[in-house]
Structure 1
Amino acid sequence: MKNILSEIRQGTRHFNQHWWIYLTLFVSVDLVIQLVVIPIFRLVTTFVLQAGAIPFVSYQNIVTIVSQHPLVVVALLLELVALLLVIYWQFAIILLGVRDIQDGTISVRRLLAESGQFLRQLRASSLLVLLGYFVLVIPFADLVFRTPLLLKVQIPAFILDFMTRNAFLLMVLIIFYTVVVVLGVRYLLALPLMVYEKQRPRVALANSWRQTSHGRWWPLLTRILVIGLVASVVMVVFYGLLVGLQFLFDLFPGKLSLVTAVVDLTLVQLGSECLAVWIGVVTIQILVQPLGNILATSPATFTVSRGVKRTMAVAGSLIILVTLISASFYLTGTGRRPVTISHRGVAEENGVQNTIPAMEKTHRLHPDYIEMDIHETKDHQFVVMHDENLKDLTGVNKAPHQLTLRQLTRLTAHENGHQAKLASFDDYLRVAHRLHQKLLIEIKTTPYDSKNMLARFSHRYASTLLSHHDQVQSLDYRVVTGMHRDAPRLPVIYIQPYNFTYPNTAAAGYSMEYSTLTDDFINLAHLQKKVVYAWTVDQRPVMMQEMYDNVDGLITNNLGELNVAIQSYESKQFYARRILNYIMVIPGSQEFEP
């Protein structure tokens, strides 16, 4: 442990001597990715999908795209190749930049030329190897440089939640992550070998495997864990001091507390970026030690021209000014208050999902909407039910389409220590409207639905739903297009479990699983006057993150917790609390936000 801490101290001394150059390197690459690369990829993807008349990409239409749009598939594969090259380039230029800073030979022209040379040396056969490599090292690469280009390579939270509820699947998940971590550590040295020693990907992977054999990967993993622990302690102390000071200043009358809050939040934002760059530099220095004397053993000294110094001063001043302005807006503005939506009509397990007694209890917490689900029955009516099988709630091993509405409403559902009768959609709707409770109605579809199910639903309910300001949503895009045709004024939300790319659909908005939802997606939706709901958000930090990203609505099982979170988010009584709210969302941020 002492040796590791000594290595961290040595790396910190290297960082301290030229911290402003390191900061310039990391921030510059980040801004290029954010302002140039990502918009280009977005435009290309949009153009390709529009050219193929494809409104979205998901598991629902992937087979159709592959079989009927081969040119679109080729274009998307070429885009994937370009994405891999950009990911490789950004890590290469960071590694090369750290080396050049320590050698005292930093040059933008040299960095671009050398990183471009590495790209030209790659072979087509190396691309698949690079894809697998980046998937393995994502948890560790994040220590060096946080990049939104790798954000989508993750398992959505709802799938992890489902797997952790089953003992067998939980064991499979644990084994999977253990294997990924071990393989990731074993191959962690491959990228430095590719960049610093110009080795081919396959050769670098083999050499990394050899250099971490016989248990030599364990000290590498230990160093990573210690770096993460030290960084966490530093961040907690840094944030704690700033928030603690602001709590004291909040006790002073007048505008002094606001002035100090703006300064504190500015320090939080700038300090967070400096801490991230420090972690990246120290991690690189420690990880490349097994490869020999690639990096200088002592910080180099070099002179910088007055012109470069003036440019750095102007750029630094602009960043500080923009950060101060954004901090002022955040602290004085209320932001976008999200719509509160109770998932399946329950709150804090106060009843049986999708039943009238639970909805009546939840209504007392004043949700803007109650989200509920409906299935078509055997006699072409609608029952309020989420699952495609009744067994878990009622003990009856049948699907809703196998029973009539009368048979279904005689069944009793049990959940969370409560019991209640299944409800017809008509009865549920009647009670909701009597309570003046708006609904978000999810239409569940199966292969057994009647041919004119959507047309019948629209004819029967569209006008009353419109008059009570209810909304409809569905995972099935056919529901979106069908309802748009039959009831064009009724808002229909398209549910997406994964944020692959921004869709171009007829939906009035999108309901997105929160773990892959980004502020970029939300901003694009708002530009098109579409709403975005996040599901299923049950933890306070995630609630804060989504509110900070200006999401339009939060679907939750913990409505009481969400109400408290919103009150805290909107509170202006203590600026320290608003700064703390901001700090809570920093771990979820993937970009520099001055």
Structure 2
Amino acid sequence: MIQRVLKQAKETLKDLNKNKWHYLYTGILIQLIFGVAGSFILRRIFGFVLLMTGQDNLNNTNIIQILLNPMGFISLIVYLILLVVLLFLEYQVFCLMILGASNQKKIAWKKLFHPTHLKLNKQNIFNGLYFLVYVILGIPIANLGLSTTLTNELYIPDFITGEWSKSPTSAVLLFVGGLTLIYLAFRFLFVVPLFTLTDLNFPQIYKRSWQMTKGKLIEFFLSFTLIEFVLLLILLPVFLLSIVLALILDNDGSNLFLESLLLTLINGCIFATNLFVKIGIFHLLIQNMQSFSNNLPLQNVQKKRKFASLTLLFMVFASFYLGETYQLATLEYNPKIEIVGHRGYVAKAVENSVEGLRAAKKMKANYVELDLLYTKDHQFVVMHDNDLKRLAGVDKKVSDLPANKVIGLKIKQDGHTSKIVSMKDYLKIAKQLQMHLILELKPTGNEDSSYVIRFVNELKKSGMENQVKIMSLDLPTILAIEKLDPDLDTGYVIPIQFGKLPNEPVDFYAIEDFSYRPQLAEEVHQMNKKLFVWTINSPDKIRYYLQTPIDGLITDELKTTNQTKNELRHDKSYIDRLLDLIQPLQ
């Protein structure tokens, strides 16, 4: 097996070196066609879907309404069909490019969009669903290089995996589910080359891929890893040399144009590495195929158009250089961002505990976010899960119990212990600590008509109404609070959202990291509202968001956030900004 791995990797790397300029040129074309033009078309169709359904966006609350609208449903089907076609075309271009280079041929672009080569005459909507299933299965191994231009940003939102990992049972299920997806993704590795280069239909393709990968998963994994490792070894000295040259030519990092050139070169090398990793993987797969369709859109290589190729490369380089210059010039640490301890400071205490509140105060958080549930006898307690099993070990629900059966219950988490407290007691301690709070109301559906009034009255009794913000996933609840007392600072929590944010009569939005886009902050500020993002825990993301125009960052990692803030206060040179703008390997 080792000999086969080395032989295949050697042949692949040899081909990458031989056809590197052809692959780079075509890869840039793919990026422009599918990353720019394809994304533009999809955004316009998505906008048409929203227009037809009278919505400003698609989120977790209105998806059913959009699907039940006949025009919305039809428009979404059109959107999905186009998405499938674009994804297929991108994969097809990669496979044809590699196969053509091996046979001294090139892609016949004019024939590429012919229905025969799109296989639209042989496929149906169910086969399109087969293809979407393949794309979804590929999410866990996308970092190996199998993602497309349109799916580079596709991943499972952190708030889903994060919450699941907090319970031992669900964490095991998440782990097993992830391994299963990875296993299936490897068993269906040949779906794309078989579909694009043979005349098989999808059921036959899945069956053939299953047969071709039988007993070879380790071999393929080692081959992929070896190719990626070699390409990274090539990238590393280029990266280090670029940094050294920058330090020599601009040791104080103050030359914007030189640092922009350096950043463009580094990100260009990273783009090329990502591209060659993807091509290398497809090359390995195609090597293992024995037969191909006789009706592929390939043609004999004609005279090379070096001038056109060089012109395209220069234009792309110049465009990226201008873009990198703008980013370097405008990237700045935002000292106005308010840091919010998510459920207190969970590194030092149980979530939503008084100890977590005190720990967050010591870490100098601007706010502490906490969750409020409603008991059977109409009292508010500080707790995230309605089910007491995870933290208290009690197989009962908060909403089914009176307050005296919930308050005082012992809770455990990551070696820490505490007790469930009432909203009243928590606010009293927060007031003593002079700690500002963000109260998240979590209605379970069992609340009575006095729910909102009781909450507002309880808040005002505490004297903390001017030191807290109030938010909820449940928009009607927040709107009712806003109507009852417009002076209260209210916010709407949005876990998943595509399109523009709704202009609701609230004071701020709390959006999950998965749905954040740079233009959202500008949209929110134009509404004269604020934008908080949750839950940001990785060092890279904390560093990224601290240099954005958001108003608040909700995190479990208060220590890391403080350290990053201190670093950014002193990192003012262009070389410091450059290091933050280097694109990750995918």
- Whether these two folds match at TM > 0.5 is yes
1:443 Cα deviation after fit: 0.6
Structure 1 CA distance for aligned equivalents of residues 35 and 531 of structure 2: 22
On the 8 A contact 2:57/2:499 being kept in 1, the answer is yes
Look up the match of 1:514: 513
Structure 1 CA distance for aligned equivalents of residues 399 and 391 of structure 2: 16
Cα gap change, 1:313 to 1:587, in 2 (>3 Å) = closer
Structure 2 CA distance for aligned equivalents of residues 239 and 40 of structure 1: 35
- Equivalent position amino acid for 1:129 in 2: Y
Aligned to 1:586, what secondary structure does the other structure show? coil
User: Pairwise mapping of residues 393-408 of structure 1 onto structure 2 (< 5 A)?
Assistant: 393=391, 399-402=397-400
User: Pairwise mapping of residues 450-465 of structure 1 onto structure 2 (< 5 A)?
Assistant: 450-458=448-456, 461=459
Aligned to 1:334, what secondary structure does the other structure show? coil
Aligned to 1:267, what secondary structure does the other structure show? helix
Aligned to 1:342, what secondary structure does the other structure show? strand
On the 8 A contact 1:408/1:422 being kept in 2, the answer is yes
Look up the match of 1:159: 160
Matching of residue 536 in structure 1 with residue 529 in structure 2: no
Look up the match of 1:353: 351
Which stretch of the first structure deviates more once superposed, 268-277 or 460-469?
Answer: 460-469
Look up the match of 1:571: 570
Matching of residue 555 in structure 1 with residue 575 in structure 2: no
1:26 Cα deviation after fit: 2.4
1:495 Cα deviation after fit: 2.6
Task: Spell out, residue by residue over 1:516-565, the C-alpha distance to the aligned partner (whole angstroms, 9 max, x if none).
Answer: 65557667666766644333322313323444665543222220111112
Aligned to 1:122, what secondary structure does the other structure show? coil
Cα gap change, 1:564 to 1:238, in 2 (>3 Å) = farther
Which stretch of the first structure deviates more once superposed, 179-188 or 81-90?
Answer: 179-188
Cα gap change, 1:34 to 1:290, in 2 (>3 Å) = closer
Look up the match of 1:134: 135
Task: Spell out, residue by residue over 1:290-345, the C-alpha distance to the aligned partner (whole angstroms, 9 max, x if none).
Answer: 124879xxxx97533476246325414423532441453266x3357643110112
On the 8 A contact 1:266/1:327 being kept in 2, the answer is no
Structure 2 CA distance for aligned equivalents of residues 396 and 105 of structure 1: 66
Q: 2:469 aligns with which of 468, 471, 475?
A: 471
Structure 1 CA distance for aligned equivalents of residues 101 and 528 of structure 2: 46
On the 8 A contact 1:151/1:516 being kept in 2, the answer is no
Look up the match of 1:288: 286
On the 8 A contact 1:288/1:294 being kept in 2, the answer is no
Aligned to 2:138, what secondary structure does the other structure show? helix
Task: Spell out, residue by residue over 1:390-444, the C-alpha distance to the aligned partner (whole angstroms, 9 max, x if none).
Answer: 5655566654445555675555655556555544434433543554433221011
Look up the match of 1:222: 222
Structure 2 CA distance for aligned equivalents of residues 378 and 464 of structure 1: 22
Structure 1 CA distance for aligned equivalents of residues 82 and 179 of structure 2: 30
1:446 Cα deviation after fit: 1.4
Look up the match of 2:94: 94
Look up the match of 1:591: none
1:357 Cα deviation after fit: 4.4
Look up the match of 1:322: 322
Q: Return the TM-score normalized by structure 2.
A: 0.82
1:273 Cα deviation after fit: 0.8
Task: Spell out, residue by residue over 1:12-53, the C-alpha distance to the aligned partner (whole angstroms, 9 max, x if none).
Answer: 444445544433332333334443433443443344345435
Look up the match of 1:385: 383
For this pair of structures, how many residues does the alignment match?
Answer: 578
Structure 2 CA distance for aligned equivalents of residues 489 and 456 of structure 1: 17
On the 8 A contact 1:345/1:355 being kept in 2, the answer is yes
Structure 2 CA distance for aligned equivalents of residues 166 and 395 of structure 1: 11
User: Pairwise mapping of residues 399-418 of structure 1 onto structure 2 (< 5 A)?
Assistant: 399-402=397-400, 409=407, 413=411, 415=413
Structure 2 CA distance for aligned equivalents of residues 527 and 229 of structure 1: 46
Matching of residue 268 in structure 1 with residue 273 in structure 2: no
Cα gap change, 1:226 to 1:519, in 2 (>3 Å) = farther
On the 8 A contact 1:152/1:516 being kept in 2, the answer is no
- Equivalent position amino acid for 2:89 in 1: W
Which stretch of the first structure deviates more once superposed, 260-269 or 395-404?
Answer: 395-404
Aligned to 1:449, what secondary structure does the other structure show? coil
On the 8 A contact 1:389/1:398 being kept in 2, the answer is yes
Cα gap change, 1:47 to 1:429, in 2 (>3 Å) = farther
On the 8 A contact 1:348/1:560 being kept in 2, the answer is no
Cα gap change, 1:436 to 1:234, in 2 (>3 Å) = farther
Which stretch of the first structure deviates more once superposed, 389-398 or 227-236?
Answer: 389-398
1:275 Cα deviation after fit: 1.0
1:63 Cα deviation after fit: 5.6
Aligned to 1:105, what secondary structure does the other structure show? strand
> More helix per residue: 1 or 2?
1
On the 8 A contact 2:471/2:491 being kept in 1, the answer is yes
Look up the match of 2:81: 81
Unaligned runs of 5+ in 1: 589-594
Task: Spell out, residue by residue over 1:204-224, the C-alpha distance to the aligned partner (whole angstroms, 9 max, x if none).
Answer: 3333333334x2454333322
1:135 Cα deviation after fit: 2.4
Cα gap change, 1:110 to 1:491, in 2 (>3 Å) = farther
Structure 2 CA distance for aligned equivalents of residues 499 and 106 of structure 1: 38
User: Pairwise mapping of residues 238-253 of structure 1 onto structure 2 (< 5 A)?
Assistant: 238-243=238-243, 252=251
1:367 Cα deviation after fit: 1.5
RMSD between superposed Cα atoms in Å? 4.1
Cα gap change, 1:568 to 1:25, in 2 (>3 Å) = farther
On the 8 A contact 1:136/1:180 being kept in 2, the answer is yes
Q: Return the TM-score normalized by structure 1.
A: 0.81
Structure 1 CA distance for aligned equivalents of residues 393 and 282 of structure 2: 57
Aligned to 1:226, what secondary structure does the other structure show? helix
Cα gap change, 1:79 to 1:396, in 2 (>3 Å) = same
Unaligned runs of 5+ in 2: 294-299
- State the percentage of identical aligned residues: 22
Which stretch of the first structure deviates more once superposed, 446-455 or 484-493?
Answer: 484-493
1:278 Cα deviation after fit: 1.6
Look up the match of 1:439: 437
Structure 2 CA distance for aligned equivalents of residues 169 and 352 of structure 1: 19
On the 8 A contact 2:58/2:497 being kept in 1, the answer is no
- Equivalent position amino acid for 1:147 in 2: T
Structure 2 CA distance for aligned equivalents of residues 412 and 220 of structure 1: 50
Look up the match of 1:205: 206
Structure 1 CA distance for aligned equivalents of residues 445 and 12 of structure 2: 61
Q: 1:495 aligns with which of 493, 496, 500?
A: 493
- Equivalent position amino acid for 2:358 in 1: E
1:269 Cα deviation after fit: 1.2
